[in-house]
Amino acid sequence: MREAGLTRVSIIKNRGTDDEQRFEVEAQLLNSSKAYFALEDPLYEGDSVELPDPRGGQIVKIAVKVVQHPMPANMSHAFGGSNGYAEVDWGEADPVRQPPVRRLSLQRLHPAVVDSASALFADRQYDSAVTEAMKSVEVRVRELTGLQVSGAALMQEAFRPNDPRLDVSLESGRSGGDEREGYFYLFRGAMVGIRNPKAHELSRSEDPDEALEVLALASLLHRRIDIAEERLT
């Protein structure tokens, strides 16, 4: 029974705490409500189990009932050398689904991006996550400058290289000038190439990696806005 249809899964103890522990094991996943583990696997009631989601990424379930079935030593060969098996029932509550790209990656982005896009990203609404992240950049620039325009026109006025309303450069002299010019094109290009198409067309991108890359760009822009905001105070 244990030798057929095994799937690599992670047993997680104290999930989400500083004492979190993970154990990589193989289990036989029968259906959405039951699975079999080796008797030696460190799985107990209340532990979390991370397993592959057929739709992509990972899914986390809770072991609400674990029934151990020890076997005589002369029958251990039937269970791949194990001393028996543990029959596990999953919880009835909806499991916690995780996107194919780890949520940890999102948490390292600028707080403005996490606030605006992380829930949408975790719900696999990647286009909406990208749109809201770029919108957060646009809204913040408008609030800091007081300008009443939007999109590329807003970025062009806010970050014009020669006399920017928001100075995002870190360097001085010629290097600072090059920096301001470069970020002028990054801010303006983000609105023209990403923000506007997402806002004006019904897009259905299903690539979480591409979405995360755009969120990283939005995070970079927000961090440069942080620099400019400090200069305004």
Copy the structure tokens of residue 192: 């023209």
**How far, rounded to the nearest angstrom, does the alpha carbon of residue 231 sit from its chain's CA centroid?**
32
pLDDT 10s per residue in the chain (233 long)?
444 578 899 999 988 787 889 999 999 887 778 899 988 899 998 899 988 887 777 888 899 999 988 876 554 454 455 678 889 998 754 445 554 444 435 668 999 999 999 888 888 888 999 999 999 999 999 999 999 999 999 999 999 999 999 999 999 899 999 999 999 999 999 999 998 765 545 455 677 888 899 999 999 999 999 999 999 97
Residue-level pLDDT at 69:
85
Residue-level pLDDT at 1:
43
Q: Is 98 within 8 Å of 40 (Cβ atoms)?
A: no
Q: Is 190 within 8 Å of 218 (Cβ atoms)?
A: yes
Residue-level pLDDT at 198:
57
Residue-level pLDDT at 199:
52
Neighbours of 88 (CB within 10 A): 26
Residue-level pLDDT at 80:
55
Q: How far is Cα 78 from Cα 69, in angstroms, rounded to an integer?
A: 13
For residue 67, which phi and psi values (nearest 5 degrees)? -110, 120
Q: Is 37 within 8 Å of 86 (Cβ atoms)?
A: yes
Residue-level pLDDT at 84:
83
Residue-level pLDDT at 143:
96
Residue-level pLDDT at 197:
65
Taken as a whole, the chain contains a residue count of: 233
With H, G, I as helix, E, B as strand and everything else as coil, classify residue 74.
helix
Task: Looking at 75-172, list the stretches that DSSP marks H as alpha helix, in order from N- to C-terminal side.
Answer: 103-107, 111-122, 126-145, 151-158
Residue-level pLDDT at 94:
47
Neighbours of 183 (CB within 10 A): 24
Residue-level pLDDT at 145:
96
Q: Domain locations in the chain?
A: 6-98, 103-232
Q: Is 191 within 8 Å of 200 (Cβ atoms)?
A: no
6-98 belongs to which CATH class? mainly beta
